[in-house]
Amino acid sequence: MSLPSRASLRMSPPRVNLPGWPGLPAPPEITCPYCFAELAAARVPFRCRGQAGRRSGCAPVLDRELADYTGSTAGASLPPVFDAPARRGRGEGRAVCPGCGQATGNRVCPGCHNPLPSAYCDSPGRIVALVGAKNAGKSTYIAVLLHELMNRVGTELDTSLVACDDRTIERYKRDFARPLLEERRLLPTTASAATAPREPLVYLLTRSRRARFARERTESLALVLFDTAGEDLRSREVRDLHLRYLEAADAIIFLVDPLELPGADAAVAAAGGAGGDRTPGDDPDSEPINIIARVTEALRQRHGTRPGERLPVPVAVALTKIDVLRPALLRQSALHRSRSGAGVLDLDDREAVHEQVRSLLHEWQAGQLDTYLGQQYADYALFGLSALGGTPEGGRVGAGGVRPYRAEDPLLWLLYRFGMLDGSRGKGG
């Protein structure tokens, strides 16, 4: 096996923690994580806190903007929205409602009237787009990743993950957590945005960290996960349905099903059978490289990069379902080791996994993907993960239940790239 000698893993040490992106100019405006409109932070309107208990406030009214956005008047009866006062103190997150005279800190997008948490307005979020071909494992991954972040990984990293609106809470429970994690049923194929309106799941991931010579600072990452139907990324026209989301993305997690790679057959455990009856390569539009190429086109439009210039958006490319690989392939490998799990990114481990996945891609005749990523993106990293941790049987999660494996790795890397997580070297071996 010979690997093309591309520059080794691009992994610069964390830069000084400037607001905004490491190495990138701070975004001048806030991007609404719901409708992706760009807005000036100082002009974000407020919503009255309304009546509660003995507090007198404005009565709820039908919020037409919100109803238009959700496509339903249910849940759109809310206290009124009012414009931000012309002059407010810098960074002031409160305003007095002209209707009832009460102060409120609830802010909303002027376009769609969805809530914009103040932490989001203060440190404009990073929108993480999740893409992949049909059946790549996106919905399953979302279900598991969010659960991990709310539980085990959240504790490890000292982060909190809070849904930004009630619909996110409901939808996560109804469409992801309940079927997959409680009832252990596999998730249905995600409907195309052409037939079903799609809404992102919007969370705020908040982390407090102590800088060496500074007081503790709290940093937030808006995690905006849009569960795309793989089908929608097949053609250029339908991709446009997701264009605003893709263009707004500050980072991409790109999921690849190893069973779809031409040369991976030999690496799949004989008993697995998880590949179903699909022949890899029978639909060029669904091939990982073609999907990522269409996403890349969208990003190039937004960033206005010249041909040959690489995009600054970090891309995490993860092989999903690695539980289907032969145990012999995983044993002795970087992928098989567990992370040290001490609230830092283990950089030695990161490099080892990157290199291993890279050599797997080349072995499986998918080296093109690696080459393409290197040409298009200044910063990409390869991962291997399993959301389920085992092969499903008869439409249900395998007997052992959901046992995610390295599912959080791409997000840890992104947190590191965003300056929200430290890296460490030289521990263990």
Positions that interact with Mg ion (CB under 5 A): 138-139, 190
151 to each of 126, 139, 162, 248, 394, how far by Cα in Å? 22, 19, 12, 28, 28
Q: How far is the CB of 140 from Mg ion (least distance, A)?
A: 8
Please tell me whether residue 229 binds ligand GTP under the rule CB under 6 A: yes
Bridge-based pairing state of the strands 103-104 and 95-96: antiparallel
How many chain residues interact with ligand GTP (CB under 6 A)? Answer: 24
CB contact at 8 A, 257 and 321: yes
Give the separation between CA 5 and CA 3, rounded to whole angstroms: 6
Taking CB under 5 A as the criterion, the residue among 35, 81, 133, 274 binding Zn ion is 35
Q: How far is the CB of 177 from ligand GTP (least distance, A)?
A: 14
Site for ligand GTP in 362-391 (CB under 6 A): 386-388, 391
Give the separation between CA 406 and CA 386, rounded to whole angstroms: 7
Site for Zn ion in 46-105 (CB under 5 A): 48, 57-58, 97, 99-100
CB contact at 8 A, 246 and 298: yes
Q: Which residue is nearest to ligand GTP (CB)?
A: 230
Residue 250: strand, helix, or coil: coil
Q: Which tokens belong to 307?
A: 């041909």
CB-wise, 47 or 207, nearer to Zn ion? 47
CB-wise, 97 or 146, nearer to Zn ion? 97
**Chosen from Mg ion, ligand GTP, Zn ion, none, partner binding at 116 (C-beta under 5 to 8 Å by type):** none
**Chosen from Mg ion, Zn ion, ligand GTP, none, partner binding at 388 (C-beta under 5 to 8 Å by type):** ligand GTP
Q: Which tokens belong to 365?
A: 């005749």
CB-wise, 35 or 78, nearer to Zn ion? 35
Q: Which tokens belong to 241?
A: 């349905």
Taking CB under 6 A as the criterion, the residue among 47, 126, 134, 339 binding ligand GTP is 134
CB contact at 8 A, 107 and 118: yes
Taking CB under 6 A as the criterion, the residue among 138, 198, 294, 339 binding ligand GTP is 138
Mutual orientation of helices 367-376 and 347-363 as an angle, nearest 10°? 130
Residues that bind ligand GTP (CB under 6 A): 132, 134-140, 186-187, 189-190, 229-230, 274, 320-321, 323-324, 386-388, 391-392
